[in-house]
Amino acid sequence: MKNITRRSFIKTGATAVAGTIAASSFLPKGWYAFAREDASGYFEQEFGISDELCRKVLSEALSKGGDFADLFFEHTISNFLILEDGKVNRAACEVALGVGIRTVKGDQVGYGFTQDLSEKAMLAAASTAATIASASGKKPASKFVPPKTKNYYPVKTLLSSVPLETKLPLVQSVNEKCFSLSPLVRKVTVVFHDQQKRIMVVTSDGVKGEDLQPRSYLSSSVVAEKDGRWERSGWNYGGRRDFSYYTPALVQELAQKAVDRTLVLFEAIQPPAGEMPVVLGPGVTGVLLHEAIGHGMEADFNRKKISTYCTMLGKKVAEPFVTIIDDGTVPYLSGSINFDDEGTPAQKTILVDKGILSSYLHDRISARSYGVKSTGSGRRQSYQHYPIPRMRNTYMLAGEASPEEVIKAAGKGIYVQDVANGQVKIGEGDFAFYVSQGRLIENGKLGAPIKDVNIMGNGPKMLTDIIMVAKDFEFAQGGGGSCGKGGQAVPVGFGQPTCLVKSLTVGGVRG
């Protein structure tokens, strides 16, 4: 390893490393010297990707008459540090490097990608993408201009430049604090993951955007034992965060959350089964909004007549106090972007405006189909994938009631604090979620904790059945989750206030 130059290693890393190598601190000193905080000019400086070369590759992608073409360059470094049984027993670094080349003809996509950033390899990938069309060629723009955008995740120190010896005390501290909080704790697993993703999008109509996207999370999973019973739970914090986010106070809060969420399960019971009012707590339950409702508002599902919402633009889909937004501009959240993976600047999109469906989430293809502008929602997992309409940070605005008033109005039902393992049918909107944390609601007050229960319903119907919204809006602050769609996973965010759903099916205990 010491005989290879830094530049050569960076260029060949994605293939030579074969996906996983030892953690960054085990690499030669200076391996991260290229890691600078600014994004502009990175791919030209490190890999020789000039504007002239981009125009040549785009010309090849358009050579058979495509309407539009773009290049998506990516260089991502991901580090993992895992502590189990009191020891850091796994540490790894993954490197991804390559370019994806897309040609669009109507609503059809031709796509090629390569890990080799040589001119020959890129022209070959562009030729593959071009085969979607069969007409006379077009020429790309003669000049590239960066998109006008802000930076929603500035960093002081690049995560890739933080050495292993600085990360070790972080995971060890979480482990020690979890054990110190209860004698019932038997096992703790702590994970710290950080990622530095550099992208460059170059389009045939003259956009050239470069971005540096940080992402990290710190998670703790706790196993406890009491009277022969075992329970497990956990928590995580993260987002598009600088390493300085992970303060001693945050470590304490993470450990407390993880342990408390585990111990409360020893007191949990199964609620009665049947149709009943369900109160969704603030913050993390926004994942239900994301899965059960948000996907149905992505434009490709509507363009293809798959979603229930495909004929509902401009129509009432919720009560007037319900407004739902998808927003790429919330600082430091996992779903935030400075521009999307097609070069469109990040923006806030109002999906449901005071109960009326006002917009879908569009990429360039669906926007042209609907005769509107892209909402900046064209996202992809990596250079090996082409962009499709995806959510960013999806949330419901606060209402006017207090949380206590919402719970009181439910009367008898369940209060959901957290959900997991969701399944959703995008077309019909039917869903089922496991309630990982929650409580009974009895006589309008919170009662015993609950466990081993699913909630089931229909997304569009649930939206119409939201009959009360509180003023305690929160964003979920986790950073470990990704949303899957079409074989691609992208980081997203979500949030909501406490709200009352008139009726959902609860799969508890039959009386």
Domain ranges, ordered by start, for the chain = 6-162+193-217, 274-507
* pLDDT attached to residue 22: 34
* pLDDT attached to residue 508: 67
Phi, psi of 480 (to 5 degrees): -95, -10
* pLDDT attached to residue 161: 85
What does DSSP assign to residue 424?
Answer: E
| DSSP per-residue codes, 117-158 | -SHHHHHHHHHHHHTT--S------SS-B------SS--SS-
Contact of 403 with 285, CB cutoff 8 Å: no
* pLDDT attached to residue 135: 76
- Classified by CATH at the fold level, domain 6-162+193-217 comes out as PmbA/TldD fold (3.30.2290)
Contact of 483 with 490, CB cutoff 8 Å: yes
Q: Hey, CA dihedral for 125, 131, 133, 134, is it positive or negative?
A: positive
157 burial type by CB count under 10 A (0-12 exposed, 13-18 middle, 19+ buried): middle
* pLDDT attached to residue 422: 82
Coil, strand or helix: which one is 261? helix
* pLDDT attached to residue 1: 27
pLDDT > 70 in the chain, percent: 92
**CA distances to 119, 218, 443 from 478, in Å:** 40, 9, 33
- The pair of structure tokens assigned to 284 is 């993390």
* pLDDT attached to residue 9: 35
Amino acid 405 reads: E
Alpha helix positions (H), 264-402 = 286-289, 299-303, 364-370
CA distance 293 to 424: 9
The backbone region for 172, taken as left when phi is positive above 0, alpha when psi lies in -120 to 50, beta otherwise, is alpha
- The pair of structure tokens assigned to 148 is 């006008």
* pLDDT attached to residue 426: 83
* pLDDT attached to residue 429: 87
Q: Hey, CA dihedral for 456, 457, 459, 463, is it positive or negative?
A: negative
pLDDT tens per residue across span 12-65: 333 323 223 333 333 333 333 344 566 789 999 999 999 999 999 999 999 999
What does DSSP assign to residue 342?
Answer: T
* pLDDT attached to residue 312: 96
Q: Name the residue among 168, 174, 167 with its Cα closest to residue 243.
A: 167
- The mean pLDDT values, 10 residues at a time, for the chain of 511 residues are 34 32 34 54 96 98 96 96 93 95 95 97 97 84 93 88 91 98 98 96 97 97 97 97 96 98 96 96 94 95 95 97 98 97 98 98 97 98 98 98 98 95 85 95 97 93 97 94 92 97 86 51
- The pair of structure tokens assigned to 160 is 């890739």
Angle between helices 119-130 and 51-61 (to 10 degrees): 30
